[in-house]
Amino acid sequence: MAIEYLKKATLTAKSDASEVHETVKNILNDISEGGDAKAMEYAAKFDRYDGNVLLTQDEIDAAIALVPEKLKADIRFAHDNVKRFAETQKSTLSEVEMEIEPGFVAGQKAIPVDAAGCYVPGGRYSHIASAIMTVTTAKVAGCRHITACSPPRPGVGIAPAIVYAAHICGADKIMAMGGVQGVASMTYGLFGLPKANILVGPGNQFVAEAKRILFGRVGIDMIAGPTDSLILADETADAHIVATDLVSQAEHGYNSPVWLVTDDHALAERVMQIVPQLIDDLPELNRENAFAAWRDYAEVILCTDREEMAACSDDYAPEHLTVQAEDLDWWLDRLTCYGSLFLGEETTVSYGDKATGTNHVLPTSGAASYTGGLSVHKYMKIVTWQRSTREASKNVAVATARISRLEGMEGHARAADVRLAKYFPDENFDLTAEE
């Protein structure tokens, strides 16, 4: 039996792809040529903020003083979890070496990038958690310099809680600048900052496009689209919890897809009844986002059995994947394409978004089929090295010369020839490519 759509999306993330490329490209070119002054021009236009670009210690202290102690404690709790998880991830990355031939050794080193630029959204919502997720992992990786960049609000500046989070997580500089101009400033090394080697963090379509255009000149975590979430649920699932989790992710934005995949028709119908009621109960801005996302982008898919459900999920390769079904170990072993996996109703995407320690900067728009999310590893360069005695290099040199000549790369072959001639002058080697 083929899967059945009880609710089918009328739009996809690509349907809403705005024509932002030229706008972003022109802004980047202007700032590349005009430097600090041009970046400030765009900041005045888009951020409508005329305060310091780089926060002074006094400004940081003043912002921190505005953060309630209870919120500080919550931020420290989340930071500690993210830090410990990142440290555990880093411990899996070993510097190794092996003997290719007796006396010929090759190895691997993990070297952190020098400067990281962490973009923290601060427009529609103040993404405190994004400061924690991006700055903490860069710090644990060992980046020498970390800039946290967040859009200021007119007459106010960066949200104090974002300043506090960036500060305790280890940001060396906190930049009050948003959008393309903020991304460009970190990339080009404006305002006395070192040029970023990598840009990380979520952002709107203009930020995402700026990162896409700049990729190659600077590393990026990923090219991101609207956030998306999928729930796999069977007859044992609680319809109210399933509906709540769908709505919690739909509030991200009007174009944030949420999908329910189930083998239980009654559950699907019940969830579709509950979701509109939960959306109606949200605050106005959240309600508008969730309503549009559910109306235009959400899908409810009915499958025959759990294997068909798993195959459907892997095909979607969701950013967030929740399983509310029996036999969680089966699902953990079977599922292969997701940014982050949440097993059982006792956990939820919201936990991962804010406080459990796993990162919330994750692949969207199906990118989970080939990549994972932001981690301490994204800031690390895995490089190789080798060292050899003269005797150990003999067989390698002979093979290199022959393979190079077969490929037609005579210069490569001679780099091996000259060493054989110097180290083993009394030996004759067959270095031709032919039999």
More confident residue, 133 or 50: 133
Range of lowest pLDDT (18-27, 44-53, 149-158): 18-27
pLDDT (average), residues 218-222: 96
How high is the pLDDT of residue 13? Answer: 67
Whether 198 and 252 map to the same domain: the answer is no
Can 320 be counted among the known catalytic residues?
A: yes
**Residue 174 and residue 192 share a domain:** yes
Question: DSSP character for 218?
Answer: B
Instruction: For residues 344 and 419, state if they share a domain.
Output: no
Tell me the β-bridge partners of 260.
231, 300
Separation of alpha carbons 8 and 400, rounded Å = 57
Which pLDDT tens digit goes with each residue over 266-276? 999 999 999 99
Asked if pLDDT for residue 165 goes beyond 60, the answer is: yes
3-state secondary structure of 102: coil
| Rounded Cα distance, 247 and 131, in Å | 24
pLDDT for residue 435: 60
Q: Would you say residue 7 lies in a domain? A: no
The band of 433, judged by pLDDT with boundaries at 50, 70 and 90, is confident
Average of per-residue pLDDT across 38-59: 95
Tell me, yes or no, whether 163 and 36 share the same domain. yes
Could you tell me if 134 and 214 lie in one domain? yes
Q: Which of 326, 347, 372 is the last residue of a domain?
A: 372
Please state the rounded mean pLDDT for residues 36-53.
95
Which entry of 33, 320, 412, 427 is annotated as an active-site residue?
320
Catalytic residue among 127, 209, 319, 360: 319
Are residues 130 and 67 located together in one domain of the fold?
yes
pLDDT the model gives residue 15: 53
Structure tokens at 377: 């590893």
With helix as H, strand as E and coil as C, how does 104-163 read? EEEEEEEEECCEEEEECCCCCCCCHHHHHHHHHHHHHHCCCEEEEEECCECCCECCHHHH
- At 224 the pLDDT is 87
Res. 16: pLDDT tops 70: no
pLDDT of residue 20: 84
Query: Span 107-133, mean pLDDT?
Result: 93
CA nearest to 41, candidates 177, 153, 173, 149 = 177
Q: What is the mean pLDDT of the chain?
A: 95
Taking a C-beta distance cutoff of 8 angstroms, is the pair 8, 302 a contact? no
Local confidence band at 312 (pLDDT 50, 70, 90 cut-offs)? very high
Q: Which of residues 119 and 285 earns the better pLDDT score?
A: 119
Alpha helices in 216-363 (DSSP H): 239-250, 265-280, 284-296, 306-316, 328-334, 349-354
pLDDT of residue 123 exceeding 80, the answer is no
Write out pLDDT tens, residues 353-411.
Answer: 999 999 999 999 999 999 999 999 999 999 999 999 999 999 999 999 999 999 999 99
- Same domain? 333 vs 404: no
Residue after which a domain boundary falls, among 327, 345, 372: 372
CA 116, CA 140: separation in Å to the nearest integer? 12
Amino acid symbol at 308: E
1, pLDDT greater than 80: no
Say whether both 26 and 114 belong to one domain: yes
Question: Do 209 and 252 sit in the same domain of this protein?
Answer: no
- Write out pLDDT tens, residues 3-12: 899 999 998 7
Judgement on whether residues 57 and 125 belong to the same structural domain of the protein? yes
Pair 301, 312: CB distance under 8 Å: yes
Q: Is 181 among the domain residues?
A: yes
349/365 Cα distance (integer angstroms): 17
Q: Read off the pTM.
A: 0.93
Q: pLDDT tens digits, residue range 318-343?
A: 999 999 999 999 999 999 999 999 99
CB 73 within 8 A of CB 161: no
Are 274 and 214 part of one and the same domain? Answer: no
Over residues 142-154, the mean pLDDT reads 96
Q: What is the mean pLDDT of residues 94-115?
A: 96
For the segment 214-219, the average pLDDT, to the nearest whole number, is: 97
| Residue 314 domain boundaries | 226-372
Torsion of CA 350, 353, 359, 361, to 10 degrees: 130
